[in-house]
Chain A
Amino acid sequence: MAVHAPTLDPDAPVVYEQYEDIDQQQETYIVGMWAFLVTEVMMFGALFFVYSLYRWKFQEEFFIYHEHLRWDWAGLNTLNLLTSSFFMAKAVQSAQLNNSKKQRKFLWATFACGGLFLVIKAIEWIPKFQTHLVPNNTFHWPPVDAPGMGGSPEHARIFFSLYFTMTGLHGLHVVIGMIAIATLALMVKFKAKPITDYIPTEMVGLYWHFVDIAWIFLYPCYYLIPK
């Protein structure tokens, strides 16, 4: 597929063959990314719906179960993701201003925040494995070395299933986002061919902000809401 640059300027962004000009191309990519984010919203949304349904059905018990979640660590994670979103927005801004060094700096900062997120998540999850709260064959309620405080084991299993599914899916998206950020940063460093304007950074940015939004909803819903 032939590509043609509108000018002979080697630094000008490349316009692909099916587009008339760079503006159309850029806007189309952003529209496309938003459409993809809509599908992600529906995917997470379906899980939120299932969670809210069960929460409504088993209100008292879910309150008991949620006491076992570490809201303080997760709060730290929230702070972490908000900061990473800020860094990401700065990275996009640097890309728009063609400042490749700053852009890479902020991209790696975002990547680091993502890594920290996964570390804190591990801190949250590993004790659950040890106290047998992971809903697989080893599941046991009340948990092994902490008081159960009531609630039936079956419903506990549902709660933790949903918890691990949703935080796991979110964590998976964080990992994908981190891979995307790292790839982007490396491609910017080595001036790889596909990256000729700020749009790839913007697209990765949109994805990362979505990941942040998903956590903004996850955090209160699981860790904070009392009843």
Chain B
Amino acid sequence: MSEAAIGVTHAEEPTLNYLNNGHSIASWLLTKDHKRIAVLYLISVTLMFFIGSIAAGLMRLELTSPHGQLFTSEQYNKLFSTHGIIMVFFFIVPGIPAVLGNFALPIMIGARDLAFPRLNLLSWYLYVIAALLFITTLIMGGVDSGWTFYTPLSSTYSNTQISMALIAVFIAGFSSIFTGLNFIATVHKMRAPGMTWFRLPLFVWAQYATSVIIMLGTPVVAITLVLVVLERQLKFGIFSPELGGDPVLFQHMFWFYSHPAVYIMVLPAMGVISELMACFSRRRVFGYQFVAFSTLGIAGMGFLVWGHHMFITSQSMLQGIVFSLISFLVAVPSAIKVFNWSFTMYKGSVVFSTPMIYALGFLGLFVIGGLTGLYLGSMGTDVHLTGTYFIVAHFHFVMVGGAIMGFLGGLHFWWPKMFGKMYSEFWGRLAAMIIFVGFNFTFFPQFILGYLGMPRRYHYYYFAPEWQLYNVLSSAGATVLGIGFLMPAFYLTHSLIKGKAAGRNPWEAKGVEWEQADSPPDTHNFHHKVIVTEPPYNYDAISDTNKHRAKFGGDPIPHHEEPV
């Protein structure tokens, strides 16, 4: 396994793994190794996140004063559009699937790689092309339509670079589709012997459900965006009221994807949380099958609720009622999962490591986000709350408090596996708590602002200067949140250089990726054939037996078992 170096025998000789197996640029840019592609995605996604955060920071700065003195309306429109498009299409949608899913999914099921490695690489290239195209759009002036691109502003009246932005999003959509395709084929066909569906880690279930949503939903929004581009360029007129078209049709088709898209954003995070809860409570996930089927249920039902984004449009009331009802129903599987995670901790021995702090943060923040979603799902209250900061707060609670906490928790959990180094627990925990505090200060006041009536996407509120207190509180929180997000960039990078070497299984977790693959793994993941014989999250077996033996005598079973 060590590189054949004649005469070199010192103990720090690095073993051959996927990171040092080839150092040239070509070996990274033309790699077919899913782990390297995951690292490439990590870099790209982080860069886009920073650009999107800068836009957010500028927005919060503007909102500290009621008169909107820093930017013109047009410029502010471009800021929130940039923030939305980057965060949704270029950070959260690809985030967990492309980084953590690409890295961990094949190893978790005992495969040597994904089903279509070259397609995986193509996915990354499409993402990069889309990101570069979007950055070009920004340089050329950006877009002012919001990430939702509502017609007829986007199709007829806007003077900004909408077509280019839409093409960038279209390409990013295909990047996403190819990743989803890869995952589906891999999970169906490449599980190791013994890895039945109900022995799969819940993270894999979550990625599978996400991939199904991606396959069914993304093409619809892709073609819708193409129609908008055609309407802009060639004056086709499908969404134009002057020709008898219906702008609300755009909204229907846009939200047909974009509602399932929010589940694309949150289901992988939920998968990560299942893993974290099990590992750091030292217990199997309570109600494994319920969680698995709830994941599929959310994916399925998520396709039936898009109209709750359109309660105040000319959509018929009957349809609104139906969507409202189904929106309430779709909250049920999420609630089932939250209960299951909570019961996972019960009678476990909880360890407050960095990933666990993110997981616990998720639990609380996702519950708040989800419950406020119910207010928005009922038509009566939505009529007053829609278009206000209540919505902004709601979706940030589920997307940042939910999906990004999941992403950071997963990143911190699998970091030792990905790079073989441990980061500083102190800084990790500190950053997690700063993020939690900063997040609450940023977004909780926005709920209050929302029900007081502050509209979203406005950069001034001089007609209600009493809102300034909450806005300043929110912006202060955003500063703290920004610091919290910056910290991992430092200590994680530092760990790459000076971090302590992590063993194969620093968290003493159960799972194929922890027990049978090195940290960092070999290019082909395993040195042996993987055969799965245990149920998932088999935590009780050892610890319970050890407890018993501690009480009644007998040698404890060691936690590390030799690989087969």
Q: Do chains A and B touch in the complex (CB under 8 A)?
A: yes
Give the CA-CA distance A161 to B216 in the complex, in Å: 25
Are B253 and A50 within 8 A (Cβ)? yes
Among listed A26-34, A80-88, A94-102, A210-218, interface-contacting one? A26-34
Given contacts A18-B111, A38-B216, A46-B220, contact A32 B181 (CB under 8 A): yes
**Closest CB of chain A to B61's CB: distance in Å?**
40
Are B189 and A39 within 8 A (Cβ)? no
Partner of B32, one of A1, A57, A157: A1
Give the CA-CA distance A54 to B32 in the complex, in Å: 46
Q: Mark A43-74, 1 if CB is under 8 A from B, else 0.
A: 11111011001100110000000000000000
Give the CA-CA distance A45 to B253 in the complex, in Å: 11
Are A47 and B189 within 8 A (Cβ)? no
Enumerate chain B residues within 8 angstroms of A177, measured Cβ to Cβ: none
B108 interface contact, C-beta 8 A: no
Partner of B244, one of A42, A47, A154: A154
Are A39 and B177 within 8 A (Cβ)? yes
**Closest CB of chain B to A17's CB: distance in Å?**
6
Give the CA-CA distance A73 to B258 in the complex, in Å: 40
Give the CA-CA distance A161 to B231 in the complex, in Å: 9
Are A40 and B238 within 8 A (Cβ)? no
A129 interface contact, C-beta 8 A: no
**Closest CB of chain B to A222's CB: distance in Å?**
15
Give the CA-CA distance A57 to B244 in the complex, in Å: 10
Partner of A161, one of B223, B238, B242: B238
Are A47 and B215 within 8 A (Cβ)? no
Are A158 and B238 within 8 A (Cβ)? yes
A135 interface contact, C-beta 8 A: yes
Number of B residues with CB within 8 Å of any CB on chain A: 43
Give the CA-CA distance A50 to B188 in the complex, in Å: 33
Enumerate chain B residues within 8 angstroms of A162, measured Cβ to Cβ: 238
Give the CA-CA distance A154 to B236 in the complex, in Å: 10
Among listed B6-14, B112-120, B326-334, B335-343, interface-contacting one? B112-120
B345 interface contact, C-beta 8 A: no
Give the CA-CA distance A36 to B222 in the complex, in Å: 14
Give the CA-CA distance A46 to B225 in the complex, in Å: 11
Give the CA-CA distance A157 to B230 in the complex, in Å: 13
Enumerate chain A residues within 8 angstroms of B511, measured Cβ to Cβ: none
In the complex, which residue of chain A has the Cβ closest to the Cβ of B524?
Answer: A17
Give the CA-CA distance A24 to B249 in the complex, in Å: 43
Given contacts A28-B189, A161-B230, contact A17 B184 (CB under 8 A): no
B245 interface contact, C-beta 8 A: yes
Are B220 and A27 within 8 A (Cβ)? no
Enumerate chain B residues within 8 angstroms of A49, measured Cβ to Cβ: 253
Give the CA-CA distance A49 to B227 in the complex, in Å: 13
Partner of A35, one of B32, B215, B227: B215
| Contact count A vs B, C-beta below 8 Å | 111
**Closest CB of chain A to B517's CB: distance in Å?**
15
Enumerate chain B residues within 8 angstroms of A137, measured Cβ to Cβ: 235
Are A50 and B238 within 8 A (Cβ)? yes
| A residues 96-128 touching B (CB-CB < 8 Å) | none
A152 interface contact, C-beta 8 A: yes
B535 interface contact, C-beta 8 A: no
Given contacts A53-B249, A154-B237, contact A46 B185 (CB under 8 A): no
Are B220 and A135 within 8 A (Cβ)? no
Given contacts A18-B114, A50-B249, A158-B244, contact A43 B220 (CB under 8 A): yes
Are A17 and B116 within 8 A (Cβ)? no
Are A18 and B115 within 8 A (Cβ)? yes
B123 interface contact, C-beta 8 A: no
Give the CA-CA distance A161 to B181 in the complex, in Å: 31
B81 interface contact, C-beta 8 A: no
**Closest CB of chain B to A65's CB: distance in Å?**
12
Are B112 and A24 within 8 A (Cβ)? no
A132 interface contact, C-beta 8 A: no
A165 interface contact, C-beta 8 A: yes
Are A1 and B117 within 8 A (Cβ)? yes
Q: Mark A150-181, 1 if CB is under 8 A from B, else 0.
A: 00101101100110010001000000000000
Partner of B190, one of A28, A39, A161: A28
Give the CA-CA distance A47 to B188 in the complex, in Å: 30
Are A43 and B189 within 8 A (Cβ)? no
In the complex, which residue of chain B has the Cβ closest to the Cβ of A61?
Answer: B244
B564 interface contact, C-beta 8 A: no
A130 interface contact, C-beta 8 A: no
Are A28 and B185 within 8 A (Cβ)? yes
Are A18 and B112 within 8 A (Cβ)? yes
B243 interface contact, C-beta 8 A: yes
Enumerate chain B residues within 8 angstroms of A32, measured Cβ to Cβ: 115-116, 119, 181-182, 184-185
Partner of A47, one of B106, B116, B223, B243: B223
Give the CA-CA distance A136 to B119 in the complex, in Å: 37
Are A154 and B242 within 8 A (Cβ)? yes
Give the CA-CA distance A3 to B489 in the complex, in Å: 38
Enumerate chain B residues within 8 angstroms of A58, measured Cβ to Cβ: 244
Give the CA-CA distance A39 to B190 in the complex, in Å: 22
Are A38 and B234 within 8 A (Cβ)? no
B503 interface contact, C-beta 8 A: no
Partner of A158, one of B177, B234, B243: B243
Give the CA-CA distance A18 to B526 in the complex, in Å: 11
Give the CA-CA distance A161 to B238 in the complex, in Å: 7
Are B219 and A161 within 8 A (Cβ)? no
Give the CA-CA distance A19 to B112 in the complex, in Å: 8
Q: Mark B12-51, 1 if CB is under 8 A from A, else 0.
A: 0000000000000000000011000000000000000000
Enumerate chain A residues within 8 angstroms of B238, measured Cβ to Cβ: 50, 54, 158, 161-162
Enumerate chain B residues within 8 angstroms of A28, measured Cβ to Cβ: 115, 185, 188-190
Q: Mark A5-21, 1 if CB is under 8 A from B, else 0.
A: 00000000000011100
Partner of A17, one of B112, B185, B222, B234: B112
Enumerate chain B residues within 8 angstroms of A24, measured Cβ to Cβ: 189-190
- Residues in chain B within 8 A of chain A (CB atoms): 32-33, 106, 111-117, 119, 177, 181-182, 184-185, 188-190, 215-220, 222-224, 227, 230-231, 234-238, 242-245, 249, 253, 524
Identify the 10 closest CB pairs spanning chains A and B, nearest first. Answer: A161-B236, A43-B219, A18-B113, A154-B243, A42-B219, A28-B189, A32-B185, A18-B112, A46-B220, A39-B219
- Residues in chain A within 8 A of chain B (CB atoms): 1, 17-19, 24, 27-28, 31-32, 35-36, 38-40, 42-47, 49-50, 53-54, 57-58, 135-137, 152, 154-155, 157-158, 161-162, 165, 169
Q: Can you list 17 A-B pairs, Cβ within 8 angstroms, ordered by A? A: A1-B117, A17-B113, A18-B112, A24-B189, A27-B189, A32-B115, A35-B215, A36-B181, A39-B216, A50-B253, A54-B238, A57-B244, A135-B234, A158-B236, A158-B237, A158-B238, A169-B223
